[in-house]
Each structure stands twice: as C-alpha cells, then as structure tokens.
Amino acid sequence: MNYLKLKVFPLFLISLVLLNCEKDDICAEATATTPQLILRFYDQNAPEETKTVSSIVVYGFNDANEPVFFDNIGLSTSDSIIVPLRTDSEITRLVFHKDFDIDNNGTPNDDSDDIVLGNPDLLNISYKLEDIYVSRACGFKAIYTNLEISADSDPNPWISSHEIINTTVENQNSAHVKIFH
C-alpha cells in the first residue's frame, strides 16, 4: 500500500509546481497606457491651418514650483506636442516655452550668468481623474475627463487663445486641444 502512496505524492507535488508556473501576469509593453495630452498649434489668423511653433520646449511645474522636464520632450519646431498629465493631482501646470534658447553671456562653462531667452506661457490644465481597469497584469490606468484650461496672466503671451476639442482624454488617437498663435 505504501507503494501507491509513494507514487501519488510526487504527482501531487508536480501538480502544485505546474499551478504556480502559469503566470501570464506580466504587463505587456504594448498595452494601452494612461494617455497623454495632445496639443496642436494653429494659426490665429487662419484657424483652419496648423502653424509650427519655433523652438518650443514644454515643461511642468510641480507643487513645490520646481520645473519638471519630460524625457521625450526636447527642443523642437513642431505643430503639435504630446505631454503627460499628472495622475496624482487634478491640475497640471505646464509651461510652453517658445523660441527657447540660452544666452551664456560668452561664458559657456559658467551657468550662473546664463539668461534664458524666449517666451514662456503657462497653462493650468485641470480635469477629473478616473481609473479604468486594464487587465490583471497592468491593473488600472487613468483617464482625464472634464478638461479645462486657463492661462496664467502674461503681459506678453504668444498663445492668443485655445480651444478644447475633446474634454475627455482617454486615448492618443487625435489632438485634444487646439492652441492658436
């Protein structure tokens, strides 16, 4: 009788191992993630026409008023830009800095006397956060609803106006906001 018991037990162990091996619990990189905000720049004099912004860089300000730079946003001349919104706050403060350049005052090695050139405009983007279930492996992503934008008062803005195309940011298929300049 012990003979049988000896044979059944290993099979039981093997089945336990099998149960623990089958993990499809890795979040695949291609899975749709929390969407980013897509802004497109239009000509204020010809609102149907896109218009590139020269040497634009976008960065944010966090709650401590420190600038936050984004890995995938460098200096570019483009008619559209994609920026990440915060998921830990229902307001994101973004600086759209046009004609960005640094005048090093003739001392390339000394940062202290550098002058930042160009025209920064600050937009406050507010929204409601909503968590959407993705999968067991990826958990939940955020989407943004009730999108609203207000510009900080600026004596010399380069942005003349904006228009929200879609108040819900749930994918990155098309632009959510038009910026006129």
Partner 1 sequence: MLKYSISSIFIVLISLSAFSQNDSIVNDSIRYAQKYGLRLGADLSKIAKTIIDEDYTGFEINADYRMSKFLFVAGEIGTEEKITDSEYLNSTAKGSYFKAGIDYNMYKNWFGMENMIYSGFRLGASTFSQTRNSYTIYNTHNEWQEQSLIIDDTKYSGLSAIWAEIQFGLKAELISNLYMGLSVQLKGRVTETEPDNFENIYIPGFGRTYDSGSFGISFGYNISYLIPLFKKED
Task: State yes or no: residue 116 binds partner 1 (CB under 8 A).
Answer: no
Task: State yes or no: residue 112 binds partner 1 (CB under 8 A).
Answer: no
Task: State yes or no: residue 115 binds partner 1 (CB under 8 A).
Answer: no
Return the number of other C-beta atoms located less than 10 Å from residue 89's C-beta.
13
**Placement of tokens 């191992």 in the chain:** 17
Tokens linked to 116: 């930042």
Phi-psi category of residue 139: left, alpha or beta, with phi > 0 → left and psi -120 to 50 → alpha: left
In this complex, which beta carbon is closest to partner 1, that of residue 30 or of residue 115? 30
Task: State yes or no: residue 69 binds partner 1 (CB under 8 A).
Answer: yes
Task: State yes or no: residue 3 binds partner 1 (CB under 8 A).
Answer: yes
Residue type at position 135: S
Report, in Å, the least distance between residue 148 CB and partner 1: 19
| Burial class for 4, CB neighbours closer than 10 Å (0-12, 13-18, 19+) | exposed
In this complex, which beta carbon is closest to partner 1, that of residue 12 or of residue 109? 12
Cβ-contact 179, 41 below 8 angstroms = yes
Contact positions vs partner 1 (CB under 8 A): 1, 3-5, 7-8, 10-12, 14-16, 18-19, 24-27, 29, 31, 33-34, 36, 60, 62, 68-72, 84-88, 92, 131-142
